[in-house]
Amino acid sequence: MPTAPEKKFTYNPTIGIIIAMILGIAAGLLVGKPMGEVKFIGDAFFRLIQMNMILFVVTQIVDAVGGLSGEELSSIGLKTIAAFLISSLLASAWGIACAVIARPGAGLENSELVLNATTDLTATTTTVQDTILGFLPTNAVSAMANGMMVPSIVFSVFLGVAITIYRQHHGGQSKMLDLVRELGDLLLTIIRLVMNVAPIGIFCYVSASIGTLGLEILIPIGKYILVLLVGTLIFTIVWLIVVSVRCELPIGALFKKMIPMTVMAAATISSAVTLPLEMDDAKRKIGLRDKIADLALPLGMPLNSNGSALHMAVTAIFVAQMYGVEFQGGALAYVCVIALMLSLANAVAPGATLISLTMLIPALGLPLEAVAILGGLEYIVAAIRTTLNVNSDVFCALLVAKSEDGIDYDIFYGRKEYQEAA
Amino acid sequence: MAEAAAAPKKKGLSSGMQILIAMVAAILAGIFFGETMKQIEFIGSIFFRLIQMGIFPFVMCTIITSVGSLTPQQLSGNGLKGILVFVVTSGIAAAVGIFVALVMQPGAGLENSKLVQEAVFEAEASTVTLQDTLLSFFGNNIVNSMSSGSMIQCIVFSVALGLVISSWRNSHDGNCIVYDFCSQLAELLIRIIRAVMTFAPVGIFCYVSSMIGNLGPEILIPLAKFLLAMAVGMIIMFIGYFIVISIRCKLNPFRLVAKMLNMTVIAFGTISSAVTLPIAMEDTKKKIGCDPDIADLLLPLGMPLNSNGVAVHLAVTALTIAQMYGIAFGTGQLINVWLISFMLSFCNAVSPGASLLSMTMLIPALNLPMASIGIFGGLEYPTGAIRTTLNVDGDVFAALLVAGADGIDHEVFDAD
């Protein structure tokens, strides 16, 4: 493809989304509850993207794994998964440390908020064994139909590996791979088209969320939000420093290239909806090579959830403090591991973390009412969490890429245009 | 008239005729044997399940390929105008169907029958808001939409994928693996469906005889009213068309009727728009004097895409069944019926048993009882005739509408 003419018009999606968000918050505050009426437009926008997501992720992973050679597969795959697990565990531990030091839940024992909390949620109990078993599908179609990301990905990885082996015996050809690859491209085209109206969808969604919930809810548990926000911020900055040193990239430039996806993540509170933009920017702006980006980023969406792990760890300790329960030593390690596990089991949908909390809180012997209090905060908390989830995917991918010659520095420094693979 | 024009290609009886005979036999068997006939209902269910199992991928692949095969030429200028006319007229047709069924109440009057008293209907409560209805067109997860049978969500996805495929094919020399895959899959599925359709008379016999045996012959009363309602719907559409066309194209409506008589009779007799297409094209160009460019573009395009008759048929059927079971539809569900009839009319299968097939799509999509499918599916021939007539003439009307007064050679039109 010859050099595509640069877009001349000044429409910048990131700016559009930021403006939509600000307008949305303002409209939500000014108009209040009636803004809830437009939520369905935002929902419709999200669904137009979400409907493609499971197939998109499956096609990306099958394509990425199926397109690799044997050695590449094991080295990239293993390194990526190791990076995901270690960073999520660190995030979880960091979240516990933040909450233990800052004690956001102390002094709330007798507040109205805690005393009045009621819930219609039911406790879900889960053991570590169940959680691990849950990563494996019993039926690939039903896993996809129910939006269970990890089982679908496990299936896709196996299919991809099978395709790799098949191709070795068939002169590198596989009709299945071609079909999957093209389907992935077609789905991405649908998503890109829908993205053009992102500001409208985001305005409706944000204004409805703020309008129906109001900002007052923030005040009593402002400390919790603050701890979460600062904890996430520090974690992100440390990540940024580690990656820029390891990959020898200028920190400022890297930060700047990651702004659009961060804004998108915060606005849509969905790592799934952000994924296409994230992949585009990682390839076109940061210079991540296809073999890394196509594998690590879709894989990281459900498997690498630094933000969710951190959020769940902070929340667990916060709730315990709120009800005057002290966790120590072994119990803290348990919280750390459970938070990590549940961050892996997250279904990729807005509001999914609430479901994870219904597993986490009872698993720690804490009252479920706490989830109801936090439920009202979902939007704000999710915005914080999702940015870290998305950013850490890219960070992990960059770390792996460094050791696999997967970064094209010419693209990063703007010396060359990204070329679509033939 | 119908028998004279019907030209079955197969030896022996045409499939429409076989189904009709099966239905009559089933009514007699049901009356004679009574409730014992219920024992064979499962055979009918087997038949319908064999069709239903392939319906979702079939509908999706059909829509993906028909939208995906549109060329930029068809998606611009007269092609785009034509598609717009198809969409609008099908929407109107579905609305006319609903209107007629609401006014004539073909399914009413069974309140005291065993049918209504026994019916356990799963149709959801009518507390759905407009926003919920609109939102429900979009699925969260296309695989989930397919597995849970959300027809509209699957159609929305298929149209989106089809449009993207169309632009993809344009920039890749017409090559698209996904398109080829879908078109072959649709082809394979229709073969399965055709093979199963051979046994349609058996399936219909089992369903109808068990229904009549269980509920008594008064269940048939709505059928006459139903056919009447469909005929009225068709006539309303025709009159509307003739008025609009004669104004827009400055044509004498009576002359137009005479010129279209030939293709209408053939459509009515063969109940196949595919068979009628060559004659429709010939007559539109040579007798009515429509601009050949427009006729050549829009008539073949309209055969799968523009099916006003199907839209009327589906809307009337859905409401008749709902009325028979005493289900009152609220505004939300009426919108739903309208949309489903409208959208399903775009995946009109060109195959024997087409009415039966579209009913297999419609009834589960609206959560109506499957048992009702037998008696309405048994009306394959009369409904097929009405549907096809309106489908074919609707294509011609759409072409004339796009052509306008300037696109018609009035000398040809006025000549005899």
Q: Residue A313 carries which side chain, given as an amino acid letter?
A: A
Does residue B27 form part of some domain?
Answer: no
- Cα(A248)–Cα(A409) distance, integer angstroms: 10
Is the pLDDT at B5 greater than 50, yes or no?
A: no
Does residue A6 form part of some domain?
Answer: no
Is the pLDDT at A4 greater than 60, yes or no?
A: no
Q: Who has greater pLDDT, A364 or B287?
A: B287
Chain B residue numbers with beta carbons less than 8 Å from the beta carbon of A142 are: 147
Stated length of chain B = 416
pLDDT score, position A232:
94
Number of domains in chain B: 1
The reply to whether A420 touches chain B by the CB within 8 Å rule is no
The reply to whether B132 touches chain A by the CB within 8 Å rule is yes
Q: What secondary structure does DSSP assign to B290-310, as a single string?
A: B-HHHHHHHHHHHHHH--HHH
Question: Given pLDDT bands bounded at 50, 70 and 90, which one contains residue A357?
Answer: confident
Using one digit for the tens of pLDDT, what is the confidence trace for A286-300? Answer: 999 888 888 888 888
Is the pLDDT at A354 greater than 60, yes or no?
A: yes
The reply to whether B171 touches chain A by the CB within 8 Å rule is no
The gap between the terminal CA atoms of chain B, to the nearest Å, is 24
Give A86's contacts (C-beta < 8 A, 6+ positions apart).
Answer: none
- Cα(B41)–Cα(B371) distance, integer angstroms: 9
**CA distance, residue A204 to nearest chain B CA (Å):** 13
Q: Do A51 and B138 touch (CB under 8 A)?
A: yes
**CA distance, residue A181 to nearest chain B CA (Å):** 10
Q: Domain residues for A95?
A: 13-412
Chain B residue numbers with beta carbons less than 8 Å from the beta carbon of A175 are: 177
The reply to whether A405 touches chain B by the CB within 8 Å rule is no
Question: Given pLDDT bands bounded at 50, 70 and 90, which one contains residue A8?
Answer: very low
Does residue A3 form part of some domain?
Answer: no
pLDDT score, position A182:
92
Q: Do A189 and B168 touch (CB under 8 A)?
A: yes
Q: Do B140 and A51 touch (CB under 8 A)?
A: yes
pLDDT score, position A3:
42
**CA distance, residue A337 to nearest chain B CA (Å):** 30
Using one digit for the tens of pLDDT, what is the confidence trace for B351-399? Answer: 556 777 778 888 888 878 777 777 787 777 778 888 888 888 898 998 8
Neighbours of A22 (CB within 10 A): 12
Q: Who has greater pLDDT, A32 or B189?
A: B189
Is the pLDDT at B303 greater than 70, yes or no?
A: yes
Three-class DSSP category at A407: strand
Mean of pLDDT over chain B:
81
Using one digit for the tens of pLDDT, what is the confidence trace for B78-119? Answer: 888 888 888 899 999 999 999 999 998 888 877 666 666 665
pLDDT score, position A325:
77
Chain A residue numbers with beta carbons less than 8 Å from the beta carbon of B142 are: 51-52, 54-55
Q: Do A179 and B165 touch (CB under 8 A)?
A: no
Q: Do A190 and B165 touch (CB under 8 A)?
A: no
The reply to whether B140 touches chain A by the CB within 8 Å rule is yes
Chain B residue numbers with beta carbons less than 8 Å from the beta carbon of A145 are: 141, 143-144, 146-148
Q: Mean pLDDT highest for which of A62-71, A242-251, A361-370, B192-201?
A: A242-251
Is the pLDDT at B122 greater than 60, yes or no?
A: no
**CA distance, residue A334 to nearest chain B CA (Å):** 34
Q: What ipTM was predicted for this assembly?
A: 0.74
Nearest CA in chain B to A192: B164
Number of domains in chain A: 1
Kindly report which listed range (A123-132, B131-140, B265-274) carries the lowest average pLDDT score.
A123-132
- Cα(A356)–Cα(B274) distance, integer angstroms: 55
Chain B residue numbers with beta carbons less than 8 Å from the beta carbon of A141 are: 143, 147
Is the pLDDT at A234 greater than 90, yes or no?
A: yes
**CA distance, residue B141 to nearest chain A CA (Å):** 4
Nearest CA in chain A to B138: A47
Does residue B259 form part of some domain?
Answer: yes
Is the pLDDT at A308 greater than 90, yes or no?
A: no
CB pairs under 8 A between A and B: 80
pLDDT score, position B274:
75
The reply to whether A347 touches chain B by the CB within 8 Å rule is no
A75 within 8 A of A330, measured Cβ to Cβ: no
Report the residue of B129, B134, B138, B172 to disrupt the A interface, i.e. the one with the largest count of A CBs within 10 Å.
Answer: B138
Nearest CA in chain B to A57: B141
Q: Do B164 and A186 touch (CB under 8 A)?
A: yes
Please name the member of A178, A186, A193 whose beta carbon is closest to the beta carbon of B168: A186
Does residue A422 form part of some domain?
Answer: no
The reply to whether B128 touches chain A by the CB within 8 Å rule is no
Chain B residue numbers with beta carbons less than 8 Å from the beta carbon of A40 are: 131-132, 134-135
**CA distance, residue A35 to nearest chain B CA (Å):** 13
- Cα(A315)–Cα(A373) distance, integer angstroms: 11
Does residue A5 form part of some domain?
Answer: no
Neighbours of A155 (CB within 10 A): 20
Kindly report which listed range (A87-91, A108-112, A245-249, B227-231) carries the lowest average pLDDT score.
A108-112
What residues are paired with A288 via a beta bridge? A407
CA angle B329, B371, B56 (to 5 degrees): 80
Closest CA to B279 of B303, B305, B313, B310: B303
Using one digit for the tens of pLDDT, what is the confidence trace for A197-220? Answer: 888 888 887 788 777 766 665 666
Mean of pLDDT over chain A:
81
Does residue A8 form part of some domain?
Answer: no
- Cα(A213)–Cα(A216) distance, integer angstroms: 8
Using one digit for the tens of pLDDT, what is the confidence trace for B158-186? Answer: 989 999 999 999 888 888 999 999 999 98
What residues are paired with B290 via a beta bridge? B408
The reply to whether B179 touches chain A by the CB within 8 Å rule is no
Q: Domain residues for B338?
A: 36-414
Does residue A420 form part of some domain?
Answer: no
Mean pLDDT value across residues A327-331 = 78
Question: Given pLDDT bands bounded at 50, 70 and 90, which one contains residue B233?
Answer: very high
B202 within 8 A of B43, measured Cβ to Cβ: yes
Chain B residue numbers with beta carbons less than 8 Å from the beta carbon of A186 are: 161, 164-165, 168, 178
- φ, ψ of residue B290 to 5 degrees: the values are -70, 145
The reply to whether A348 touches chain B by the CB within 8 Å rule is no
pLDDT score, position B6:
39
**CA distance, residue B266 to nearest chain A CA (Å):** 41
Mean pLDDT value across residues B244-259 = 86
**CA distance, residue B331 to nearest chain A CA (Å):** 19
Which residues, numbered 158 to 187 in chain A, qualify as contacts with chain B under a Cβ-Cβ cut-off of 8 Å?
175, 178-179, 182-183, 185-187
Chain B residue numbers with beta carbons less than 8 Å from the beta carbon of A55 are: 142-143
* Dihedral of the alpha carbons of A207, A208, A212, A216, in degrees to the nearest 10: -30
Chain A residue numbers with beta carbons less than 8 Å from the beta carbon of B176 are: 182
Give A10's contacts (C-beta < 8 A, 6+ positions apart).
Answer: none
Chain A residue numbers with beta carbons less than 8 Å from the beta carbon of B157 are: 51-52
Q: Do A51 and B153 touch (CB under 8 A)?
A: yes
Using one digit for the tens of pLDDT, what is the confidence trace for B39-69? Answer: 888 888 888 888 888 888 888 898 898 888 8
Q: What secondary structure does DSSP assign to B114-177, as a single string?
A: HHHHH----PPPS---HHHHHHTTS-S-HHHHHHTT-HHHHHHHHHHHHHHHHHHHHHTTT--H
Q: Do B144 and A50 touch (CB under 8 A)?
A: no
Which residues, numbered 61 to 90 in chain A, qualify as contacts with chain B under a Cβ-Cβ cut-off of 8 Å?
none
Does residue B8 form part of some domain?
Answer: no
Dig out the tokens for B142 from the structure. 């296309």
Does residue B26 form part of some domain?
Answer: no
CATH number of the domain within which B150 lies: 1.10.3860.10
Is the pLDDT at B302 greater than 90, yes or no?
A: no
Using one digit for the tens of pLDDT, what is the confidence trace for A158-168? Answer: 998 899 889 88
Q: What secondary structure does DSSP assign to A169-228, as a single string?
A: HTTT--HHHHHHHHHHHHHHHHHHHHHTTHHHHHHHHHHHHHHHH-SGGGTTTHHHHHHH
Nearest CA in chain A to B147: A145
Question: Given pLDDT bands bounded at 50, 70 and 90, which one contains residue B128?
Answer: low
3-state helix/strand/coil string of A115-166: HHCCCCCCCCCCCHHHHHHCCCCCCHHHHHHCCCHHHHHHHHHHHHHHHHHH
The reply to whether A230 touches chain B by the CB within 8 Å rule is no
Using one digit for the tens of pLDDT, what is the confidence trace for A91-107? Answer: 999 999 999 898 887 77
Q: Do B143 and A144 touch (CB under 8 A)?
A: yes
CATH number of the domain within which A154 lies: 1.10.3860.10
